[in-house]
């Protein structure tokens, strides 16, 4: 949902904050975009990069389900707690990678 919202904001809105939300929301939802060179690379590979991000989120969901069901009385709350920690790690890594790339390349993103 975050990726779809980021895409819509990039297509429908204008301005600095729309670009910031679209960029960071997009790379958090699809970390494969970073491998494809977003936002500095050629956008012809972005579609494949988004599809390649799906297995990452499936693995994160699987890991969260395994960690949450260690207890015989596991609940959905346990799953979402585990999933949130893993998803926040991906988000921090993606945002950090974009900021590091911006600093190394000398391009202003914000």
pLDDT tens-place string over residues 68-110:
999 889 999 999 999 999 999 999 999 998 888 888 877 776 6
- Cα torsion through 20, 83, 88, 8, rounded to 10: 0
Dist. CA 43–CA 39, nearest whole Å: 8
pLDDT tens-place string over residues 26-65:
999 999 888 888 777 777 888 888 999 999 999 999 999 9
70 DSSP 8-state letter: T
pLDDT tens-place string over residues 9-25:
989 999 889 988 998 99
CA 89 vs CA 6, 11, 72, 75: distances in Å: 19, 28, 26, 22
């Amino acid at each position: 949902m975050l990726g779809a919202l980021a895409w819509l904001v990039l297509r429908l809105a204008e301005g600095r904050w729309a670009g910031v939300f679209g960029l960071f929301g997009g790379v958090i939802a699809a970390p494969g975009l970073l491998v494809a060179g977003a936002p500095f690379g050629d956008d012809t590979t972005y579609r494949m990069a988004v599809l390649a991000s799906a297995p990452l989120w499936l693995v994160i969901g699987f890991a969260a389900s395994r960690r949450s069901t260690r207890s015989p009385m596991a609940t959905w709350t346990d799953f979402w707690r585990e999933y949130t920690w893993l998803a926040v790690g991906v988000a921090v890594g993606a945002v950090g990678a974009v900021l590091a790339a911006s600093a190394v390349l000398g391009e202003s993103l914000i």
